Amino acid sequence: MSKKSEEKQALLKRYERIYDKEDVLLFNSYMIKSPDEEEREIGKLSNIWSGCQIPYDGKVFHSSEQLLFYINYKQLGTKVGFSEEEVNERIDFLMSTKNGFEVKNCPRTNYFFRNINNKAEKLFGVEQRMNRHWKNTFFIAKMKYKYTSEIRDLLEKYKDKIWCENSFWGDYFAGVVYDYELKKYRGLNSLGRAYRVIYNNRDLIMGES
């Protein structure tokens, strides 16, 4: 195992959470296109859902994913070696891509996003990248909650559940994965945990100017 992989595993062990199956409400982007109405509704908690109108930095963002990419481009693009001109060109294209699935899967947006983050991880380290990811995840989820009534209604409806992004493909950092030995879900669950902090402080957040 490489030094970077060891560091990631150590951070995962330090920050991960373990949840009983009966306690969680699972969501992810695949549910947005589910034939089941309830699953489609829950899928709106995903960053990919494109029913948002989030104002930020003089622009309007149609999904959390679009805002996440934008913030990463702005925060890190020039710091990791890309020219300001290239970053601005990428932002222009990103803002023309209003569908969250396209933002996530279009090579022109996704490759640049991943390239920036890989370079940032090499320059600043795994833990700093993780801390930045958490701060951005929390901020974006807060903005989504504040400006999207459907998300507020969803969290209220399922307030007694533990919200978890179901990363069944194996991403323990973004969400949770089912552990067949423990018979529980485990992972960092960064977005689900952000939603819980936001919900618990909803009166304060909704009162922010």
pLDDT of the chain along its 209 residues, tens only? 677 778 778 888 888 999 999 999 999 999 999 999 999 999 999 999 999 999 999 999 999 999 999 999 999 999 999 999 999 999 999 999 989 999 999 999 999 999 999 999 999 998 898 899 999 999 999 999 999 999 999 999 999 999 999 999 988 888 999 999 999 999 999 999 999 999 999 999 999 86
User: Does residue 53 belong to any structural domain of this protein?
Assistant: no
The tokens for 33 are 């296109």
User: Does residue 179 belong to any structural domain of this protein?
Assistant: yes
| 3-state secondary structure at position 87 | helix
User: Does residue 52 belong to any structural domain of this protein?
Assistant: no
- In angstroms, the CA 93 to CA 167 distance is 28
Question: SS3 breakdown of the chain: % helix, strand, coil, rounded to 5?
Answer: 60, 15, 25
Domain count, the chain: 1
Q: Exposure pattern of 89-119 as b/e (b: 16+ CB <10 Å)?
A: ebbeebeebeebbbbbeeeebeebbeebbeb
CA atoms within 13 A on the CB side of 140: 27
- In angstroms, the CA 159 to CA 25 distance is 10
* pLDDT at res. 1: 66
User: Does residue 131 belong to any structural domain of this protein?
Assistant: yes
Structural domain containing residue 106: 3-47+58-206
User: Does residue 170 belong to any structural domain of this protein?
Assistant: yes
* pLDDT at res. 208: 82
* pLDDT at res. 103: 96
100: closest CA among 147, 73, 63, 69? 63
